Copies of this chain bind each other. A is one copy, B any other.
Amino acid sequence: MEEKEISQAVIGRLPRYFRYLGELRDDGVERISSQELSELMKVTASQIRQDFNNFGGFGQQGYGYNVEHLYREIGRILGLDKTHKFIIVGAGNLGQALGKYMNFERRGFLFCGMFDLNPELVGKEVRGVKVQPMESMAQFISENDIDIAVLTVPKTSVMEVAEKLVQCDIKAIWNFAHVDLNLPEGIQVENVHLSDSLMKLSYNINRYQKENEQSE
């Protein structure tokens, strides 16, 4: 119950804590204060304490947090103590690259199936997984307890595919198409809009250049 009201902003910061704590643990660090973690992560110590208080504070006692405990607790909150099975819909370059990406497996995300609208890609193999036609998707999802669909289809077919996935009772969609998906409430969506990120970079390059020209 206590996890119910937590804002997506706090949730969005948890993976970063998890990443830093994993590195500290790998480096053999046993305890860390919020002040030290603050310096390492370049966020304020009060932000860290506020974030952690959402989850009961993780029992900071005496000198700081127990790194191993904190790492495991945040992993559990993120659901990384369970495995999640995913399929990739869209077997183009990005879909194939994500299928081959081993790091997801390390975190318990298992690449189980791949689908494409294009019959020419059907039968192609990506890390031992054969591309199947879209018609086989519904049955595959239900028979294999698939949680997540990774969407790497072109913008033009994304709504059609998303609607099919809704009918299949998919739990979550990780969307790489350049469209914001508005789906029924029960389906979790995370958008990765690569072009948006690149445009932000472009803005910052130009702003910096302009500032420098003005100060010359």
> Which residues of chain B come closer than 8 Å to A80, judged between CB atoms?
199, 202
Which A residues from 1 to 26 make CB contacts under 8 A with B? 1, 3-4, 8, 11-12, 14-16, 18-19
Within 8 A of B (CB), among A132-189: 147-148, 171-172, 174, 178, 180, 182, 186, 188
Which of B16, B171, B211 is within 8 Å of A196, CB to CB? B16
Given A93-B96, A207-B3; A190-B186 close (CB under 8 Å): no
Contact across chains for B1 and A205 when beta carbons are under 8 A apart: no
Do the beta carbons of B195 and A192 come within 8 Å of each other?
A: no
Cβ-defined contact, B197 with A190, below 8 A:
yes
Is B172 in contact with A104, judged by CB distance below 8 angstroms? Answer: no
A61 at the interface (CB under 8 A from B): no
Q: Is the interface of A mostly helix, strand, loop or mixed?
A: helix
Minimum CB–CB distance from A165 to chain B (whole Å) comes to: 14
> Contact at A15–B195, with CB atoms within 8 Å?
yes
5 nearest CB pairs, A to B: A97-B97, A79-B206, A15-B196, A188-B204, A15-B199
